[in-house]
């Protein structure tokens, strides 16, 4: 050891100093943490064999500049009996603003801000799942909450609430907004999640055309398509075929990731045509991004992963048999899987739980040994009328090859926990799209331990469609709890991505960009009735090529909403921004040297 204290090798050479530790991508804002309250609901009283608790799916989260001061404010959905939680952004500091007035007696399932010139306006999806049976259709599917933008300067605002979409037999799941008929006005998709007390029945999903003044009217021209989609858990408008009009991607529980092609405002189901129909799963959410940089939007869908008690295969999928077996007015549910010993499907649930809720089972199956040798029909005395199946439970990317989608499972580290929320963004600012998976699920049935192996996971994109799991010490993300929706914004204007993560029954987490490269901030100026250019597609132009395509969206796939001000990571110095407007017209906007925020539009 030298007098200076520096270590030397045996030959007397000075050892190099340790490499500096890189700052993590994100830092947790310890000052922030509003708690989501989820009042208990006795859903098992009406459907005792539910495999999950559908009353515990919130909160949704959304970023948008609601007070027209140039920075994104935050809104979080709430459980039954509470108002949404609103935060005003004061130069990067989030200040709570109370939403006064009547409170929704049901859960808020989705939040999509659609402000006008001087008015803050938010669309809220309302779930009728917890409503009394005779009031289900009376709960508005979607309400509009509006208040003067300037009123947010105070400590409270009183919104004007009005229904914009009537209720139906199915409770509401995700919402998505785009100008699908290219008339200049934003239109609305309302996804049906489940019939209250009737899982796995869904009720009809619906499409609404925007009207002058911000209202909506139902578009029933393709009601046959939208009425039979299944239980919709996620929805996002995306122009998958790059023809200038927005198509619709949907995640379905007990079904495929569906794709509805839009041809001049009319929709057709092309799920099987593009190769998505063969992946039947229990999908929890869907989003899009150009993961391989070819200019076409790819899909990502999240599910339950492979760290559960289920081990489905294409030859032996997980099955859900359903029907009123004992004719008592309750829809009974039996999970099953093919047992090669029996040459038939055997029930997977414990005998005690099944017999406790379907009394004839105990007489037919006097011992566990008898139950172990019984198929579903023998255990119940009858095969239930309904049957669904899921052979794929892994989280997947689906790469857009033009005429088909190529399935690619996300890395094994991503499969260790369920995910109910997925965020697509360039987190580290390298010019390639990354993914964040919210993780865990605590609302299981009484025989299943909670799924809690995740801490929230970033996946770094390689620009070719592959992803690297980012360790928590590198990403800076270690979020425990029952994670739900996530949404992204640049809340302090530094060009780095920030994001918020909702926790069911717990404190939301705010992660601020720290050790990442600043990107190019792009504001899109649209038209009078589409002020933020929803549906526009942006690409960074470099001297030697183009960056990935980024769609400006309202609704990011799982009830959440990213700020429409885009943060585009940079692989090199940008030359211009290429903009493809709704309808297909393309223009380029030059980016002067050293400029890190540009405005594009109006078209």
Nearest to 423 by CA among 558, 291, 535: 558
State how far the alpha carbon of 325 is from the alpha carbons of 319, 334, 383, 528, in Å. Answer: 16, 10, 8, 55
**Planar angle of CA 53, 325, 358, nearest 5 degrees:** 65
Q: pLDDT at position 7, please?
A: 39
Structure token pair of residue 552: 């400006």
Whole-angstrom Cα distance, residue 151 to residue 185?
26
Q: What are phi and psi of 361, to 5 degrees?
A: -65, -40
State how far the alpha carbon of 424 is from the alpha carbons of 210, 232, 245, 418, 539, in Å. Answer: 27, 20, 21, 17, 15
63 has which bridge partners?
74
Q: Are the C-beta atoms of 335 and 347 separated by less than 8 Å?
A: yes
Helices (H), 437-541: 472-475
* Domains in the chain: boundaries: 27-310+392-512, 318-389, 520-600
Q: pLDDT at position 1, please?
A: 37
Whole-angstrom Cα distance, residue 370 to residue 364?
9
400: exposed, middle or buried (C-beta count within 10 Å: 0-12, 13-18, 19+)?
A: buried
Strands in 211-256 per DSSP E: 216-218, 231-238, 247-255
One-letter-per-residue 3-state SS of 31-83: CCCCECCCCCCCHHHCCCCCCECCCCCCCCEEEECCCCCCCCEEEECCCCCCC
Whole-angstrom Cα distance, residue 155 to residue 148?
14
Q: pLDDT at position 382, please?
A: 96
Whole-angstrom Cα distance, residue 116 to residue 570?
32
Structure token pair of residue 219: 């578009």
- Give the pTM: 0.95
Whole-angstrom Cα distance, residue 46 to residue 13?
76
Which parts of the chain register pLDDT below 50? 1-12
CA atoms within 13 A on the CB side of 400: 22
541-573 burial string, b = 16+ CB within 10 Å, else e? bbeeeebbbbbbbbbbbbbbbbbbbbbbbbbee
Task: Identify the residue whose tokens are 């809220």.
Answer: 124
Helices (H), 158-243: 223-226
Q: Are the C-beta atoms of 199 and 331 separated by less than 8 Å?
A: yes
Q: What is the dihedral of CA 413, 419, 423, 426, to 10 degrees?
A: 0
Q: What does the chain come to in residues?
A: 603
Structure token pair of residue 565: 């001000």
Structure token pair of residue 32: 């922030």
Q: Are the C-beta atoms of 569 and 426 separated by less than 8 Å?
A: yes
Fold for domain 27-310+392-512? Methylamine Dehydrogenase; Chain H (2.130.10)
Whole-angstrom Cα distance, residue 500 to residue 62?
9
As a 3-state breakdown, the chain gives helix, strand, coil percent values, each rounded to 5, of 10, 40, 55
Q: pLDDT at position 20, please?
A: 60
State how far the alpha carbon of 133 is from the alpha carbons of 9, 171, 571, 595, in Å. Answer: 79, 12, 55, 57
Whole-angstrom Cα distance, residue 547 to residue 550?
9
Whole-angstrom Cα distance, residue 361 to residue 426?
53
380 torsion bin: left (phi>0), alpha (psi -120 to 50), beta (else) = alpha
Q: pLDDT at position 223, please?
A: 97
């Amino acid at each position: 050891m030298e007098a200076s204290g520096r270590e030397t090798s045996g030959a007397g050479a000075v050892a190099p100093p340790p490499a500096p530790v890189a700052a993590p991508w994100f830092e947790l804002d310890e000052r922030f943490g509003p708690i989501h309250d989820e009042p208990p609901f006795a859903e098992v009283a009406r459907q005792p064999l539910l495999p999950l608790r559908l009353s515990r799916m919130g909160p949704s989260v959304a970023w948008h500049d609601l007070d027209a001061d140039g920075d994104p404010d935050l809104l979080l959905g709430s459980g039954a009996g509470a108002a949404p939680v609103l935060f005003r952004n004061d130069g990067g500091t989030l200040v709570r603003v109370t939403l006064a007035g009547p409170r929704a007696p049901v859960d808020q399932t989705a939040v999509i801000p659609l402000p006008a010139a001087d008015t803050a306006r938010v669309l809220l999806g309302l779930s009728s799942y917890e409503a009394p049976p005779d009031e289900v259709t009376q709960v508005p599917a979607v309400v509009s909450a509006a208040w003067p933008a300037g009123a947010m300067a105070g400590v409270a605002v009183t919104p004007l609430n009005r229904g914009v979409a009537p209720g139906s037999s199915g409770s509401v799941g995700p919402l998505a907004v785009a100008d699908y008929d290219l008339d200049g006005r934003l239109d609305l998709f309302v996804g049906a999640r489940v019939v209250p007390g009737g899982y796995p029945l869904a009720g009809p999903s619906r499409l609404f055309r925007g009207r002058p003044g911000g209202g909506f009217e139902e578009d029933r021209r393709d009601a046959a398509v939208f009425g039979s989609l299944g239980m919709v858990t996620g929805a996002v408008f995306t122009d998958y075929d790059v023809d200038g009009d927005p198509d619709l991607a949907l995640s379905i529980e007990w079904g495929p990731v569906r794709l509805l092609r839009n041809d001049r405002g009319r929709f057709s189901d092309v799920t099987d045509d593009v190769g998505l129909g063969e992946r039947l799963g229990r999908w929890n959410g869907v989003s899009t991004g150009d993961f391989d940089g070819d200019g076409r939007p790819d899909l990502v869908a999240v599910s339950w992963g492979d760290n559960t008690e289920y081990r489905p295969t294409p030859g032996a999928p997980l099955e859900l048999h359903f029907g009123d077996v004992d004719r008592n007015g309750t829809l009974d549910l039996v999970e099953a899987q093919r047992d090669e010993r029996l040459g038939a499907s055997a029930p997977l649930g414990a005998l005690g739980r099944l017999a406790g809720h379907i009394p004839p089972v105990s007489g037919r199956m006097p011992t566990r040994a008898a139950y172990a040798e019984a198929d579903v029909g023998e255990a119940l005395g009858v095969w239930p009328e309904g049957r669904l199946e899921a052979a794929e439970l892994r989280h997947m990317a689906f790469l857009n090859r033009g005429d088909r989608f190529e399935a690619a499972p996300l890395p094994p580290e991503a499969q260790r926990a369920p995910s109910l929320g997925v965020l697509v963004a360039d987190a580290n600012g390298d010019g390639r799209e990354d993914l964040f998976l919210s993780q865990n699920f605590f609302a299981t049935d009484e025989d299943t331990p909670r799924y809690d192996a995740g801490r929230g996971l970033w996946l770094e994109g390689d620009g070719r469609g592959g992803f690297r799991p980012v360790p928590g010490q590198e990403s800076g993300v270690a979020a425990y709890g029952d994670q739900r929706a996530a949404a992204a914004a640049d809340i302090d204007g530094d060009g780095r991505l920030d994001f918020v993560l909702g926790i069911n029954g717990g404190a939301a987490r705010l992660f601020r960009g720290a050790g990442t490269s600043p990107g190019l901030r792009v504001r899109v100026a649209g038209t009078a009735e589409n002020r933020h250019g929803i549906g526009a597609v942006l690409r960074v132009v470099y001297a030697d090529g183009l960056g990935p395509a980024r769609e400006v969206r309202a609704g990011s796939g799982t009830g959440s909403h990213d700020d429409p001000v885009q943060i585009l990571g940079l692989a090199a110095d940008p030359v211009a921004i290429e903009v493809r407007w709704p309808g297909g017209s393309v223009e380029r906007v030059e980016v002067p040297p050293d400029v890190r925020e540009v405005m594009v539009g109006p078209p």
